[in-house]
Structure 1
Amino acid sequence: MVTTGLPPGPRLPRAVQAGLMLRLGPRFIDACKRRYGPTFTLRVAGMGTLVYLTDPADIKTVFAGDPRIYHAGEANSMLKGLLGDTSVLVVDGDAHRDRRRVMLAPFTRDAVAGQTGLMAQIAADNIARWPVGRPFAAAPKMAQITLEIILRTVIGASDPARLTALREVMPRVLRVGAWETLALANEALLGKSPWRTLREAIDAADGLLYAEIADRRADPDLVTRTDALSILVRTGGMSDRELRDQLITLLVAGHDTTATGLSWALERLSRHPEVLARAVRAARTGQDDYLDAVARETLRVRSVVFDVGRVLKEPVDLGGYTLPAGVMAIPGMVLVHGDPHIYPDADRFDPDRMLGVTPGPSTYLPFGGGNRRCLGATFAMVEFRVVLREILRRVDLQTTTAPGERRRLKHVIFVPHRGARIRVTATRSVPVRSGGDEGSCPVGGQA
């Protein structure tokens, strides 16, 4: 039996529900599931009416749905002020299909495998500067590594002065919280205080990216370059503005998300001595399957992205209800990843559960799904493995019995509330491992 209308949900004011989402995140939506059932409605200021779905069958329906009816780009429209109107993240329909087809070229298995040596070298150079014998937050180090990887492998920046400028300005652009999102959703605010500094940072980043695009178009050796920008320029069909929008999208979707996943991996490993010891052996003996399992389990037990959504353009039957057009259907990633019926003892960090299995596309959702699955998922997983491997090969990490760090919502991702604090007890000098890696959104993003 299908019921017309919306599923049950809290009757709190929209602003209160928005505050609960920002403040409590998973605890709030988990409480809603317990009280209202597997399908429930939230009304959130700034986001609209959200219908959460936790049944894998319903999630499969959403991901396999007609893209003319299920609009993911519209669900991401609040980011247009940063990403631009032509970003693969914010367009729908035929425009998305055509743009995605072009954007996949730099992220094929072979293209990503060709970048692993540079990824490893970037990680090794950063790790060599880590302090020994005192605690420090891993998250900023992971952010430095993943930003440098994107700047060098995706944008292909090599001019020393421009690289320095990009390293300085991009963290300011990417430091987008709830307050900044207000201005990105209403671009008129970007010219006003206190958002003017964000506008200035975006303008500075644009200038640097346009300079990279101009250099690439004029490069006589373009055909031999392997960075994503060069591949997109060779493919043709995109204006400078369209290329800029895709580059900023890749930076937003693949920098902080991957850095956060790596931070959570170190936070989890330092609290699970047996898993850490096994991961160290795997890293030092070339057992990449186990490192991949650590990555996958980390992204399950500590989901980085909050959730993914589709704005309905027509009424749709989902979860036993006929949902009206205009609502956002949300496959509840955090709830599914924590469901003990799908993942027994779901709170336990257990990479063994990911060994030798391919998680189902409607029960394992760190990269979204369907025609909007993160186009950089292969890149992200290879980067995760390469960086984690270099860390575990080069340093000895001290384990701790301290409670796990809480999840703090930072815009649309969950970060460790103390920055994933770790302590290095010793370092090792080993050569950089290069080559030999193959892919198994940047993390995040419904591209």
Structure 2
Amino acid sequence: MSTAYPPGPPVPRTVQTIFYARWRGAMLRAAARRYGDVFTLHLVPPYSENVVVFSRPEHIREIFAADPADLHAGEGNRLLVNIMGEHSLLLTDEDEHARARRLLMPAFVGSSLRGYRSLVDAIAKEHVDRWESGSTVHTLDRMNELTLDVIMQVVFGMTDERRRDQLAPRLRRIVNVNPIMFFGWKYPWLQQRGPWKRFDDNQNAINELLYSEIRERRAHPDVDARTDVLSRLLAAGSGENPTDAPLSDAELRDQLVTLLLAGHETTASALSWACHELAANPEIQAQARRAAHDGDEKYLEAVLKEAMRLHTVIAATGRKLTRDMTIGGIELPKGTVVSTSILLAHERTAAFPDALTFRPERFLEGEVAANTWLPFGGGVRRCIGAGFSLMEGTAVLREILTRYRLSLPAGTGSEPSKVRNITHIPANGAPVVVTAETVVPV
């Protein structure tokens, strides 16, 4: 097969890679304006070398519906192996991925989510109790603290405050890893130097804490009575498939770190964007506050979904072709990574009229078509924590909006975005002024 890829930016690979790592959104938008709905990026390791970007719904549907043996999502995510580990759900493919997903899924079904809700509510209340009326809250920092607490208690099941206090700052260092780290991991001689050695030391300390927790929980007599995700995984045995071996300690460690990264900063960023947009749009905020007081969680969920659409947290999903294939009518060789651009899909005016306007109602009026709203990916690789994230985010918004009115600090305008780790976050931390509100909106 010819290796003539669709056109893309003509600048050298190194330059493209720097822009992709630091200014991804601007680069993708510029390429889409010039080259249309399909274009190619040529990058250098640790990123995939040849990435063909798609954003049309029909192309995305074709990629998500393809045989997972032909498109390896795990191989497309290898950039994260030094953080998440070899067994991560995001980094495995075919039988290994299917087994891990079967064992993890029961912890995230509807009945399990309902069991977590009261603890999430309590954690949200505890954190929002610390806010002071009239103060400026940097919501990204506060939401990161809150969602990390949720991960440690609801997912890891850590009730020992001493161990939580030891683990929390080390987990934050993973979340805050600089993109330059990805480049250093390519060169073994860097592993014992500078930030790479500090990262490795931090990982070893995290592993020691997590493995200690796993050992103690395996030996704990009441593990079957606990409802946190780790306990559910330890009690799962062979799950729904009797041929599945239970998760080993190493696999559990990798899945816990994966759940941290996939479910911590992503949800925190989405919540901080939601707070920013509510503060910037008083009429929508008034409706959201009414919904919070009335228990209308569908509207609060719509607010969260619209924040995820307008401010895409994860820019894309990637899948590596294991054979020559034709996608979107384009012949592509084995080894190509096809990228479904979530960011560009969310900004398509054909799918989202007034795409740059914050309008939660679009999620309540049947406007959002399949393969257009993609914060959790799609197909067999759709994020298993999607329901958990929406439940958690809705609970946090309800706690905030029943107690405070949000406004932007004086002189604050639109909040820019920046890349941290692999996520897009509010560059200035999405500050809002919180004012205690005793009057229930009508």
TM-score, normalised with respect to structure 2: 0.93
1:394, 1:429 within 8 Å by CA — same for their partners in 2? no
1:376 is matched with which residue: 363, 382, 385? 385
* 2:433 paired residue number: 423
What amino acid maps onto 1:378 in structure 2?
Answer: G
- Residues 295-341 of structure 1 show CA distances to partners (whole Å, capped at 9, x for unaligned) of 11111111110111101111111233101111110111111100111
1:263 is matched with which residue: 251, 262, 272? 272
1:293 is matched with which residue: 276, 296, 302? 302
* 1:434 paired residue number: none
- Distance in 1 (CA, whole Å) between partners of 2:434 and 2:277 is 15
* 1:50 paired residue number: 51
Q: 1:366 to 1:287 in 2, by over 3 A?
A: same
Please show how residues 34-49 of structure 1 align to structure 2 within 5 Å.
Answer: 34-46=33-45, 47=47, 48-49=49-50
1:361, 1:369 within 8 Å by CA — same for their partners in 2? no
- Distance in 1 (CA, whole Å) between partners of 2:109 and 2:128 is 28
Please state whether the residue corresponding to 2:334 is helix, strand or coil. coil
Alpha-carbon shift at residue 361 of structure 1 (Å): 3.6
- Distance in 1 (CA, whole Å) between partners of 2:345 and 2:174 is 32
Please state whether the residue corresponding to 1:353 is helix, strand or coil. helix
Alpha-carbon shift at residue 356 of structure 1 (Å): 4.5
- Distance in 1 (CA, whole Å) between partners of 2:436 and 2:190 is 49
2:181, 2:195 within 8 Å by CA — same for their partners in 1? no
* 2:242 paired residue number: none
What amino acid maps onto 1:112 in structure 2?
Answer: L
What amino acid maps onto 1:118 in structure 2?
Answer: L
Q: 1:422 to 1:87 in 2, by over 3 A?
A: same
What amino acid maps onto 2:251 in structure 1?
Answer: E
Alpha-carbon shift at residue 188 of structure 1 (Å): 6.0
* 2:397 paired residue number: 388
Alpha-carbon shift at residue 184 of structure 1 (Å): 4.7
What amino acid maps onto 1:142 in structure 2?
Answer: M
What amino acid maps onto 2:85 in structure 1?
Answer: G
* 2:240 paired residue number: none
- Distance in 2 (CA, whole Å) between partners of 1:182 and 1:3 is 30
> Does the alignment pair 1:403 with 2:402?
no
Alpha-carbon shift at residue 396 of structure 1 (Å): 2.1
- Distance in 1 (CA, whole Å) between partners of 2:2 and 2:305 is 37
- Distance in 2 (CA, whole Å) between partners of 1:351 and 1:309 is 28
* 1:127 paired residue number: 128
1:307, 1:332 within 8 Å by CA — same for their partners in 2? yes
Please state whether the residue corresponding to 1:156 is helix, strand or coil. coil
Q: 1:61 to 1:187 in 2, by over 3 A?
A: farther
Alpha-carbon shift at residue 23 of structure 1 (Å): 3.5
* 1:225 paired residue number: 226
- Distance in 2 (CA, whole Å) between partners of 1:313 and 1:183 is 27
* 1:355 paired residue number: 364
Alpha-carbon shift at residue 3 of structure 1 (Å): 8.9
What amino acid maps onto 1:413 in structure 2?
Answer: T
Alpha-carbon shift at residue 22 of structure 1 (Å): 3.0
- Residues 164-195 of structure 1 show CA distances to partners (whole Å, capped at 9, x for unaligned) of 11222211222222122234555664332232
What amino acid maps onto 1:19 in structure 2?
Answer: I
- Residues 339-361 of structure 1 show CA distances to partners (whole Å, capped at 9, x for unaligned) of 11110110000001111538434
2:326 is matched with which residue: 317, 337, 353? 317
Q: 1:274 to 1:399 in 2, by over 3 A?
A: farther
Please state whether the residue corresponding to 1:114 is helix, strand or coil. helix
Please show how residues 12-91 of structure 1 align to structure 2 within 5 Å.
Answer: 12-46=11-45, 47=47, 48-91=49-92
Alpha-carbon shift at residue 274 of structure 1 (Å): 0.5
1:4, 1:321 within 8 Å by CA — same for their partners in 2? no
Q: 1:252 to 1:350 in 2, by over 3 A?
A: same
- Residues 30-54 of structure 1 show CA distances to partners (whole Å, capped at 9, x for unaligned) of 1111211211101122221110112
Deviates more, 1:314-323 or 1:89-98: 314-323
* 2:142 paired residue number: 141
Q: 1:358 to 1:15 in 2, by over 3 A?
A: same
TM-score, normalised with respect to structure 1: 0.92
What amino acid maps onto 2:174 in structure 1?
Answer: V
- Distance in 2 (CA, whole Å) between partners of 1:274 and 1:343 is 21
2:263 is matched with which residue: 250, 254, 258? 254
- Distance in 2 (CA, whole Å) between partners of 1:222 and 1:328 is 42
- Distance in 1 (CA, whole Å) between partners of 2:275 and 2:186 is 34
- Distance in 2 (CA, whole Å) between partners of 1:45 and 1:270 is 40
Number of equivalences: 429
- Distance in 1 (CA, whole Å) between partners of 2:298 and 2:394 is 9
Q: Percent identity?
A: 38
Please state whether the residue corresponding to 1:194 is helix, strand or coil. helix
1:309, 1:329 within 8 Å by CA — same for their partners in 2? yes
- Distance in 2 (CA, whole Å) between partners of 1:429 and 1:127 is 18
1:78, 1:184 within 8 Å by CA — same for their partners in 2? no
RMSD (CA atoms): 1.9
Q: 1:3 to 1:192 in 2, by over 3 A?
A: closer
- Distance in 1 (CA, whole Å) between partners of 2:251 and 2:82 is 14
What amino acid maps onto 2:336 in structure 1?
Answer: V
What amino acid maps onto 2:431 in structure 1?
Answer: R
Deviates more, 1:260-269 or 1:184-193: 184-193
- Residues 397-429 of structure 1 show CA distances to partners (whole Å, capped at 9, x for unaligned) of 225673211111112211111000101122669
1:3, 1:320 within 8 Å by CA — same for their partners in 2? no
Q: 1:279 to 1:326 in 2, by over 3 A?
A: same
- Distance in 2 (CA, whole Å) between partners of 1:183 and 1:249 is 21
